[in-house]
Amino acid sequence: MPRFKRVLLKLSGETLMGDQTFGIHPEQLKHYASEIKAIADLGVEVAIVIGGGNIFRGLQAEATGIEKVQGDYMGMLATVINGMALQSAIENLGLFTRLISAIEMKAIAEPYIRRRAIRHLEKKRILIFSAGTGNPYFTTDSAAALRANEINAEVILKGTRVDGIYTADPEKNKDATKIDEITFTKAIRDGLGIMDMTAFTLCQENNLPIIVFDINHPGNLRRIIEGEKLGTLVSQ
């Protein structure tokens, strides 16, 4: 029996670049799709929020002189491009998906309607939420926390480049040590940047646990679903 029945998987856009400096790496896209199929085959209901940092981040707007709100909307559109790519990769493996956009664009995605989204999950369709919350000033972390709570997901699985949360950045500090479990309160007190504070507080207030893990290691996602303790668990 899977450990969770319904999950929200948060993926960063940057990870889609693979070893490139920009765009979507075909092998990384296939890897994401195969990892998702592995848990869908177990009967798990899967929703996904993917970032857009491989194409455009709102933070880039400052350097280019683009107004912040305009830059945030550009970032939202980048997540739609990634969502379309991921949708195609997953459907190539024979699964049914629905791309849902917080900004209405009828030609390529469904608008977000909570009850309809939940019905899709019950029918074992994989949901890909794009365009963030549809509002500037909110990150895709916030979108993941919001959608996970709205669809009654049991956990947010945050796929990253590292195998959990560390006391410091393990890519910069060789003395950083991995944390297996931590409370929301301690994570906030220690200033661990797991998610932005809006997203993190939303999870804390609704008692929605987060598991941070290495998405790039083949099989990790399925191992977590099957009950293995991987990565770092953040909970009450």
Reported as a single tens digit per residue, the pLDDT across 10-26 is 999 988 998 888 899 99
- In three-state form (DSSP H/G/I as H, E/B as E, the rest C), the secondary structure along 201-212 is HHHHHCCCCEEE
Question: Is residue 155 scored above 80 in pLDDT?
Answer: yes
CA angle 133, 135, 141 (to 5 degrees): 45
Question: Is residue 58 scored above 90 in pLDDT?
Answer: no
Q: Which of 130-144, 163-177, 192-206 has the lowest mean pLDDT?
A: 163-177
Instruction: Measure the CA–CA gap between 5 and 7, rounded to whole angstroms.
Output: 7
Q: Give pLDDT, residue 169.
A: 80
Q: Give pLDDT, residue 4.
A: 97
Q: Give pLDDT, residue 172.
A: 83
Over residues 204-223, the pLDDT tens digits come to: 999 999 999 999 999 999 99
| Longest alpha-carbon distance in the chain | 52
Q: Which CATH number fits domain 6-235: 3.40.50.300, 1.10.357.10, 3.40.50.720, 3.40.1160.10?
A: 3.40.1160.10
> What tokens appear for 217 in the block?
């290691």
Cβ pair 216, 35 in contact under 8 A: no
170-203 residues labelled b (16+ CB within 10 A) or e (exposed): beeeeeeeebeebebeebeeeebebbeeebbebb
Domain ranges of the chain: 6-235
Structure-model confidence comparison of residues 143 and 171, the more confident one? 143
Quick one: what percent of the chain has pLDDT higher than 70? 98
Tell me which residue of 105, 108, 86, 66 sits closest to 13, measured CA to CA: 86
Over residues 180-210, the pLDDT tens digits come to: 999 999 988 888 878 888 999 999 999 999 9
